[in-house]
Amino acid sequence: DAGVTQSPTHLIKTRGQQVTLRCSPKSGHDTVSWYQQALGQGPQFIFQYYEEEERQRGNFPDRFSGHQFPNYSSELNVNALLLGDSALYLCASSRGSDRGYEQYFGPGTRLTVT
Amino acid sequence: LAKTTQPISMDSYEGQEVNITCSHNNIATNDYITWYQQFPSQGPRFIIQGYKTKVTNEVASLFIPADRKSSTLSLPRVSLSDTAVYYCLSRRAGNNRKLIWGLGTSLAVNP
């Protein structure tokens, strides 16, 4: 049983460019959340997708957008990249019916903006 | 404004019991308190969650007082491999029930 997978592992982009990160949830999970984690900081919630819709959103600008597909996989898109967008981007999956927050995290995508 | 606070760092020795306390004011009344462990360059890993009183699993125990304004993660007999950052997570009360992550407690277990 594969856990949460993310691609790519590492990515280097230039300011102003756009990036797409991908996530496949753990088998049996229907909810995907995205987080941004700067070096030495805790994860910052970006948004969560359930049933192909954005269910909740953190304090991130509209440059951050996402999508969930019918097979529950998800994409995170970031437009007009800024240097400050350099971080580890984490995807977490869970079951939408769960009351708690037992999320399974992927290994993350390390994005560097130069 | 809802806030989650926990100690920045802690030191311990192999075989000791470690207790990490998180303060979380104004959390949602019906939601769980959850703890995660994170190693460098890896995603966080779920440890334990609870609603009130005490919860125990094969890895840790979680103590939550009746007022739910704090929670304590207890790691029995830590080993070197328990060196990691530990985060507590709760949900803000009210209409904007966003998940609130603590800043993390960096635990160093020494031989």
Q: Which of residues 42-81 of A touch B (CB under 8 A)?
A: 42-45, 56, 58
Judge whether residue A58 has pLDDT over 70. yes
Local structure of residue B92 (DSSP, 8 states): B
Contact indicator for B101, B16 with CB cutoff of 8 Å:
no
Q: What is the distance of C-alpha A100 from the center of its chain?
A: 19
pLDDT band at B24 (very low <50, low <70, confident <90, very high): confident
Q: How far is A31 from chain B (nearest CA, A)?
A: 15
Query: How, if at all, do strands B105-110 and B9-13 pair?
Result: parallel
Contact between chains at B43 and A102 (C-beta distance less than 8 A):
no
**Run of H or E residues at A22:** strand A19-24
Rounded mean pLDDT, B16-32: 84
Residue whose tokens read 């779920």: B46
Among residues of chain B, what percentage have pLDDT more than 70? 86
Helices (H) and strands (E) in chain B, counts: 0, 11
Write down the pLDDT at residue A85: 97
Judge whether residue A76 has pLDDT over 70. yes
DSSP string, A71-97: TS-EEEEE-S--GGG-EEEEEEEE-TT
Interface of chain B toward chain A, CB-CB under 8 angstroms: 30-32, 34, 41-46, 49, 87, 89, 91, 98-99, 101-104
CA pair distance A54, A68, nearest whole angstrom: 8
| Amino acid letter for position B60 | A
